[in-house]
Chain A
Amino acid sequence: QITLKESGPTLVKPTQTLTLTCTFSGFSLSTSGVGVGWIRQPPGKALEWLTLIYWDDDKRYSPSLKSRLTIIKDTSKNQVVLTMTNMDPVDTATYYCAHSNGGNPVFDYWGQGTLVTVSS
C-alpha cells in the first residue's frame, strides 16, 4: 500500500524559504522508474506541476520556477524534500507530493496535501 504525506509550515512570511517534506511508504525511491513529484494548487484554482525527482536522482523543474526550487531525496528515510525560496503571497496554495512510475510523470498516488499560506 503506497502512501505519501506532506509536512511543513502552514504559514510563511514573504521572502522566506519554504521547506516541505514528503514522507512515503509502500515503495522505494531506489527502484527503477519510480519518481516523486510536487504539484500545487492555489485555493479554487488549477493544478500546477513544480518538480519531480527520479530514482536515479534525475531532477526536473518547472522552468518558470526553476531558480527558486530545489528537490532532494533521502532514500534511507523514504523522504523527498522541496525547498522554495523567496516566497510570495501568490505562492499560497495546497502543496501535494505524488508518486509516479515507469519513468513517466503520471501521478498515480497522491498525498492529502498541505496548505501553505504566505502572509506577513
Chain B
Amino acid sequence: DIVMTQSPDSLAVSLGERATINCKSSQSVLYTSNNRNYLAWYQQKPGQPPKLLIYWASTRESGVPDRFSGSGSGTDFTLAISGLQAADVAVYYCQQYLSTPYTFGQGTKLDIK
C-alpha cells in the first residue's frame, strides 16, 4: 500500500494569511508514461462530506477559488491556501489514486488563529 502522511496534523493561521499543508507518499505517485501525479486534495467541513479541491496534484476542480493551489511531484506535495478566510476552517485530506488501495492521508485540521 502507498502510505500518505500529512504534516502538520493541525495548524492555526491568521485571517488573510497563507496556510500550507504537506503530503508525502511512501512511493512515487508520478506515472511516468503520462507525466501525471495521481494526487488529489479534499476539504471536509464538520458534518459534511469531503469536497474535491484539486486533482492531478495541481488542477483545481471547477468552482474552487484560485486561493487554493496544489504543487509537488513524485512523493512530496503541498496544498496552499492564500488569503485565509473563516470559511476555510476544515480538515484537509490528500489522496493518491495511482494504485489500489486508493489511500488518504490522516488529515490536517486547519483553524483560525
The answer on A and B forming one complex is: yes
Q: How far is the CB of A62 from chain B (nearest CB, A)?
A: 4
Interface string of A94-106 (1 = CB under 8 A from B): 0010100000111
- CB closest chain-B residue, reference A112: B49
Interface residues on B, range: 20 to 34
The reply to whether A46 and B107 contact each other, CB–CB distance below 8 Å, is: yes
The reply to whether B104 and A61 contact each other, CB–CB distance below 8 Å, is: no
The reply to whether A105 and B49 contact each other, CB–CB distance below 8 Å, is: no
The reply to whether B50 and A64 contact each other, CB–CB distance below 8 Å, is: no
Measuring CB to CB, which residues of chain B are less than 8 angstroms from any residue of chain A?
1, 38, 40, 42, 44, 48-52, 55, 61, 93, 95, 97, 100-107
Q: What are the 9 closest A-B residue pairs judged by CB atoms, nearest first?
A: A110-B49, A62-B101, A47-B104, A49-B102, A105-B97, A106-B55, A108-B52, A46-B106, A105-B102
